[in-house]
């Protein structure tokens, strides 16, 4: 009884305190009547404040009753003051009109914004919470970083900007296949999971990409199903409402020629109908002979402001790629890594190219119910077609001679995805609730034909990597039978994947003590049906909870803790006859976030542990039977540190370090592919990256700058299972890059040199073959990176 009385007294005291306060809301407009975003609104003499959203709206909660002075400020804009009277229990509405137009404000944003650091995630991540207050490690790679480093696709050095991110088994520029926290992470675009096979999706060209968001660990608010290591979300460019454009041309080593055009503007005088169009075309050779990667992309976007509260955005992207046979990137030798010249290739001239056509459509409708509630509905359709082949040896001998083989790889991917979600905010007593709820549905189909292959070399005329002879292979070029349609061929080859899912989720972030303490309680229920490799569909129903806590030590510092889950359905047959369980993953994470120097740069320090259970592997007691057994348990744990932002005027930095310990912790009896303590394939225990850029701010060299960066990977496991004595593990990796740039008014010149030290860099693993006498042999394989090379870009803004 005593405890109940104390609780009632606490509730009454909180309610009484709330009753003595009011609320200030309003809207900020530019001089031409457009909503002004990112404008700071504060109460003079108080730490309370807010920042205007995309509608120019702002809200300040729990303001003491009485007279106050509001301060409206924006970088490069004169501060305005206005007196406002707050009545207890009521809302005071006030509006401001700035003296600058929307175009003038946009120019201020471009010139004065912190272009290496982002404080918010995109609306496609569904969260209303600033990154500083989010109980999870979230990192954003901005468009400015991508431009400074001359990143032209998802596979092009992007991962250096995120702690612990690496690439293995990456198939060149076809697929990103990013590994983080011990597993391959999920690929998203504009909030949709666009993974439809282990290999995809096709790497996005950076011409239509605004920025990329990395979410570490499971994300119940995003993933219907997926690996617990995390995801990256590619956010495409949208119209800004400003009439502007940019054209660029890049040339570089190995016959790289690339041109892009970015047009942004209004289709109607009132600014309600906007457009954006991005075009890119690229011819790209390689340091290896007979290898190329030619691409173009077209990406138009339109936005229509239906009324004051409703906006419709529709976008389309076409990517076309014509490139060398996929396996041309691989080199094989039983004698060790890097035992052949860096520019060695086993690909003959005249082999037909692989051609890929990738279409995507996204439609997004946002409706503001009121100043605190918004509903979003979005649809996506993706269609990918590939016609090509993949090289892989048929046999390898002890003297490194081999019989080269080429296998057909035709594929088609089709996805139809939909989401509806609601964001809202309500107050109950002294508690502020940030609410999220929604539904996520999708249908994915993947068809592939790998059923045909042909040897390029006869047994009497094997290919000798130590003395290669190029030309028409002595067994001729492969001619594949494509008389049947791909769907029919995929059925015969077992290359079918099918997935249908529905996910329901709800999340409540409760803010206590003036939102200094935030408790996140969430859950997601997913129903899924999945079939792979021609097997019967497996169905799974799973609930994944999420619990997070974030505490603001002051306005610039927060600590957080998180427990989250994910699950990944899998197909297979167990010899026991028992139903195959999905892979489940639990993530426990703690972290520290801080903004420094008035928010110009920030740091994130995170500690995590992920457990994965139920993953299938081949049944060792019944080889080649199609039966599987559960491997046991894998554990990934480690520390991550990221820093990004503007340290001083003109001095920008992105740097990170990660320690990753990923290993097998339990093994099912009889399984021999791994033992307890084995490292998980494809990660580096130590990763460190940095990129520093400085631009002279005044004087005769104003606008000139210098930049440089490095990547270090230490204690690398292979892309396949390592043996206990580390015979096949990879050596440490160090790459140094740097360059100079100059910009004035609307022109920018950028010159970067990559792999300055001209080191032989590669990733790889091992593969078991047989010799021409039928004996087993283990061969090393690796994918080499380019030697020292350069890129020179010129861009013009208009």
Lowest mean pLDDT among 109-113, 242-246, 310-314, 550-554: 109-113
Is 38 a residue whose pLDDT tops 90?
no
Q: Per CATH, is 244-797 categorized as 3.40.50.11740?
A: no
The per-residue pLDDT for range 621-639, each reduced to its tens digit, is 665 556 777 778 889 999 9
Q: Which pLDDT value is given to residue 4?
A: 43
Beta bridge partners of 433: 426, 510
- What letters, b where the CB count within 10 A reaches 16 and e where it falls short, cover 414-442? bbbbbbebbbbbeeeebbbebbbbbebbb
Residue 493 has pLDDT above 70, yes or no: yes
Whole-number pLDDT of residue 507: 95
C-alpha distances (whole Å) from 86 to each of 89, 188, 767 are 9, 44, 72
On the question of pLDDT at 200 being above 90, the answer is no
Does an H or E element contain 588, and which?
A: strand 583-596
Q: Name the average pLDDT for the chain.
A: 88
Predicted confidence at residue 16, as pLDDT, reads 43
* Res 302 pLDDT > 90: yes
The third-level CATH classification (topology) of the domain covering 2-105 is Immunoglobulin-like (2.60.40)
DSSP-derived pairing of the beta strands 230-236 and 186-189: parallel
Q: What pLDDT is recorded for position 572? A: 67
CB atoms within 10 A of CB 482: 13
Q: Give 774-784 pLDDT, tens digit per residue.
A: 999 999 999 99
Which residues does 150 contact at the CB level (< 8 Å), separation at least 6? Answer: 250, 750, 752, 791, 793
pLDDT at 512 over 60: yes
pLDDT of residue 71 exceeding 50, the answer is yes
The tens digit of pLDDT for each residue in 351-393 reads: 999 999 999 999 999 999 998 999 999 999 999 999 999 999 9
**Would you say the C-alpha torsion 570, 573, 574, 576 has a positive or negative sign?**
positive
- Model pLDDT for residues 398-410, shown as the tens digit of each residue: 999 999 999 999 9
CA dist 779 and 758 (Å) reads: 26
Run of H or E including 245 = strand 244-252
Distance CA 103, CA 109 (A): 10
What is the bridge-based pairing of β-strands 496-512 and 538-554?
unpaired
Out of 158-162, 220-224, 665-669, 750-754, least confident range: 220-224
- CATH topology match: 2-105 vs 244-797: no
Number of other CB atoms surrounding residue 660 within 10 Å: 26
pLDDT at res. 725 = 53
Query: What is the per-residue pLDDT for 720?
Result: 67
Look up residue 327 and give its two tokens. Answer: 């396996």
Q: Give the number of residues written for the chain.
A: 798
Say whether pTM exceeds 0.75. Answer: yes
Task: Choose the weakest-confidence range: 95-104, 136-145, 557-566.
Answer: 95-104
Return d(Cα 642, Cα 162) in angstroms, integer: 7
- From the list 719, 717, 714, 653, the residue with the least C-alpha distance to 687 is 714
When pLDDT is averaged across residues 527-543 and rounded to a whole number, the result is 80
pLDDT at 504: 94
Rounded Cα gap, residues 182 and 777, in angstroms: 28
What mean pLDDT do residues 514-520 have?
94
Alpha-carbon distance of 696 to 677, in angstroms, equals 51
Separation of alpha carbons 609 and 451, rounded Å: 41
CA–CA gap between residue 616 and residue 628 (Å, rounded): 6
> How far apart (Å, rounded) are the C-alpha atoms in residues 249 and 293?
17
E strand or H helix that includes residue 491: helix 486-493
The pLDDT value recorded for residue 60 is 87
The predicted structure's pLDDT at residue 709: 97
Tell me which of 12-16, 206-210, 746-750 is least confident.
Answer: 12-16
Average pLDDT over residues 176-196: 91
So where are the chain's domains? 2-105, 244-797
Of 444, 423, 417, the residue nearest 530 (C-alpha): 444
**Beta carbons of 325 and 347 less than 8 angstroms apart:** yes
> Nearest to residue 238, comparing CAs of 262, 269, 259?
262
Q: Cα–Cα distance between 204 and 571 in angstroms, integer?
A: 29
CB distance 434 to 59 below 8 Å: no
């Amino acid at each position: 009884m005593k405890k109940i009385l104390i609780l009632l007294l606490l509730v009454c005291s909180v309610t009484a305190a709330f009753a003595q306060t009011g609320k200030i809301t309003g809207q900020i407009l530019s001089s031409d009547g457009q909503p002004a975003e990112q404008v700071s609104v504060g109460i003079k003499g108080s730490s309370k404040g807010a920042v205007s959203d995309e509608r120019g709206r702002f809200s300040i909660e729990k303001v003491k009753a009485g007279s106050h002075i509001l301060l409206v400020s924006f970088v490069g804009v004169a501060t305005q003051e206005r007196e406002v009277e707050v009545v207890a229990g009521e809302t005071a509405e006030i509006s401001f009109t700035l003296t600058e137009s929307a175009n003038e404000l946009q120019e201020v944003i471009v010139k004065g914004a912190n272009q290496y650091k982002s404080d918010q995630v995109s609306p496609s991540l569904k969260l209303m919470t600033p990154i500083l207050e989010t109980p999870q490690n979230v990192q954003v790679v901005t468009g400015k970083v991508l431009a400074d480093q001359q990143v032209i696709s998802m596979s092009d050095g992007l991962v250096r900007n995120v702690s612990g991110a690496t690439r293995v088994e990456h198939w060149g520029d076809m697929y990103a296949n990013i590994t983080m926290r011990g597993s391959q992470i999920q690929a998203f675009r504009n909030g949709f999971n666009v993974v439809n096979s282990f290999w995809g999706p096709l790497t996005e060209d950076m011409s239509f990409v605004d920025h990329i968001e990395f979410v570490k660990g499971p994300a119940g608010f995003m993933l219907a199903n997926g690996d617990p290591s995390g995801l990256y979300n590619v956010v495409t460019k949208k119209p800004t409402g400003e009439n502007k454009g940019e054209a660029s041309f890049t040339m570089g080593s190995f016959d790289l020629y690339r041109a892009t055009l970015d047009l942004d503007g209004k289709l109607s005088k009132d600014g309600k109908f906007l457009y954006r169009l991005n075009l890119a075309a690229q011819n790209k050779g390689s340091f290896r002979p007979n290898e190329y990667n030619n691409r173009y992309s077209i990406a138009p976007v339109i936005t229509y402001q239906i009324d004051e509260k409703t906006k419709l955005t529709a976008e389309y992207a076409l990517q076309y790629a014509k490139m060398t046979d996929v396996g041309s990137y691989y080199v094989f030798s039983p004698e060790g890594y890097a035992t052949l010249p860096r520019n060695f290739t086993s690909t003959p001239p005249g082999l037909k190219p692989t051609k890929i056509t990738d279409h995507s459509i996204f439609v997004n409708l946002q409706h503001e119910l009121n100043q605190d509630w918004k509903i979003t509905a979005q649809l996506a359709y993706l269609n990918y077609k590939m016609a090509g082949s993949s090289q892989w040896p048929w046999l390898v001998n002890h003297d490194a001679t081999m019989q080269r083989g080429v296998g057909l790889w035709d594929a088609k991917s089709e996805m139809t995805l939909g989401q509806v979600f609601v964001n809202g905010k309500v107050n109950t007593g002294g508690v502020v609730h940030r609410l999220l709820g929604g539904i996520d549905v999708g249908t994915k189909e993947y068809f592939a034909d790998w059923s045909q292959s042909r040897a390029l070399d006869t047994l009497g005329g094997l290919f000798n990597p130590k003395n290669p002879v190029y030309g028409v292979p002595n067994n001729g070029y492969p001619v594949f039978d494509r008389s049947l349609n791909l769907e029919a061929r995929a059925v015969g080859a077992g290359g079918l994947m099918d997935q249908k899912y529905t996910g329901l989720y709800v999340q409540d972030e409760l803010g206590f003590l003036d939102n200094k303490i935030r408790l996140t309680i969430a859950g997601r229920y997913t129903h899924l049906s999945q079939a792979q490799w021609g097997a019967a569909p497996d169905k799974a129903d799973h609930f994944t909870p999420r619990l997070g806590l974030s505490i603001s030590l002051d306005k610039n510092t927060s600590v957080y803790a998180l427990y989250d889950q994910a699950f990944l359905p899998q197909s297979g047959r167990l010899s026991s006859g028992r139903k195959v369980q999905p892979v489940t993953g639990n993530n426990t994470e703690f972290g520290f976030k801080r903004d420094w120097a008035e928010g110009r740069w920030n740091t994130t320090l995170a500690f995590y542990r992920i457990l994965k259970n139920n993953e299938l592997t081949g049944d060792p007691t019944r080889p080649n039977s199609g039966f599987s057994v559960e491997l046991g348990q894998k554990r990934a744990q480690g520390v991550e540190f990221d820093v990004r932002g503007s340290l001083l005027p003109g001095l920008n930095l992105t740097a990170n370090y990660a320690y990753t310990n990923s290993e097998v912790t339990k093994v099912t009896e009889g399984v021999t592919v791994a033992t307890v303590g084995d490292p998980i394939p494809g990660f580096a225990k130590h990763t460190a990256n940095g990129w520093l850029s400085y631009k002279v701010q005044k004087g005769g060299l104003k606008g000139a700058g210098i930049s440089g960066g490095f990547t270090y990977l230490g204690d690398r496991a292979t892309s396949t299972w390592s043996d206990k004595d580390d015979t096949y593990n990879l050596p440490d990796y160090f790459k140094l890059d740097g360059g100079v740039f100059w910009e004035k008014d609307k022109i920018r010149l950028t010159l970067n040199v990559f792999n300055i030290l001209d080191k032989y860099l590669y990733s790889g693993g091992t593969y078991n073959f047989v010799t021409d006498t039928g004996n087993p042999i283990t061969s090393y394989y690796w994918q080499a990176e380019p030697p020292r090379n350069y890129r020179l870009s010129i861009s013009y803004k208009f």
